[in-house]
Amino acid sequence: MITIAKNNHNGNSRPFGQTIRVLLWAAAFCCLCSCAASAHMTYRNGYILDKKGEVVGNYANGYIFDTARNIKGYYANGYIYDENHRITGNYSNGFILPKN
C-alpha cells in the first residue's frame, strides 16, 4: 500500500486528493469567469446579435445578410466567409468568433 506523507508542521494539512480537488475547482472557476467576461457576437433563430443583444444582421441558407438584406458573407461547416470567400471567423454553439 502506498501512502502520501502529510505535512504536519502546523497540524492544518489536507489530504492530497482534497488539495487537488480544491485546485481543480479554482481553475474551473477562473476559466468560466474569463469566458463569461469576454464579449462575443451571438446568433440564434436566424438573427445575428451584437454584445448588447441588438440585431445587426440575419443568416439563412448559407448566406449572411445585413439589416437591409444585402449579402455580406457566407457560412458553412463552422466557418464564416466574406464576399471574396476568405475565412473571417468561426461560429459554434451560438457564438461567433472573429479571426484575429
pLDDT of residue 41: 85
Distance CA 82, CA 98 (A): 12
At 25, is the secondary structure helix, strand, or coil? helix
**Is residue 71 within 8 Å of 58, Cβ to Cβ?**
no
The percent helix, strand, coil of the chain (3-state, each to 5) is 20, 35, 45
Instruction: Tell me how far apart the alpha carbons of residues 90 and 10 are, in angstroms, rounded to a whole number.
Output: 52
User: What confidence score (pLDDT) does residue 36 get?
Assistant: 43
The answer, as to whether pTM is greater than 0.75, is no
Instruction: Domain ranges for the chain, please list them.
Output: 41-98
- Compute CA 8 distance to the chain's CA centroid, rounded to the nearest angstrom: 42
Q: pLDDT (tens digit, 0 to 9) for every residue of the chain, 100 residues total?
A: 565 555 555 555 556 556 555 544 445 444 443 444 345 789 989 999 998 999 999 999 999 999 999 999 999 999 999 999 999 999 998 999 888 7
